[in-house]
Amino acid sequence: MKRIVLTVVLIAFLTLTTFAVWQHGFLGIFAYQFQNLAGIQVFVDLVIASSIFLVWMWKDAKAAGRSPWPWLILTLTIGSFGPLIYLLLYKSARD
């Protein structure tokens, strides 16, 4: 069930991202967030959540004997796709 939910979320988010980039361009997505304080708050919240996920992925990958670097680089370059793909492909080392 978890795999199905993650797959649906990943596909839906990929579709949304594709249309957003198509309509506004890659840099346009970020420019929109800096138009007012509310957008900056959402951006900072995303950075905080991504940082927490990066720490978790680092520890989980190390505990499972996997290199965390591909996932860290993926997350830093394309955001939430990194953690979503990580969760889809791997069972947590703590499970």
* Per-residue pLDDT tens over the stretch 5-52: 999 999 999 999 999 999 999 888 888 888 899 999 999 999 999 999
Burial of residue 63 (number of CB atoms within 10 Å: 0-12, 13-18, 19+):
exposed
Q: Which amino acid is at 71?
A: W
Round to whole Å and give the CA distance between 3 and 32.
Answer: 32
Round to whole Å and give the CA distance between 60 and 67.
Answer: 10
Q: What is the DSSP string of 10-75?
A: HHHHHHHHHHHHHHH-HHHHHHHHTSSHHHHHHHHHHHHHHHHHHHHHHHHHHHTT--SHHHHHHH
Q: What pLDDT score does 95 carry?
A: 58
45: its two tokens? 């919240």
What is the residue whose two structure tokens read 């959540």? 49
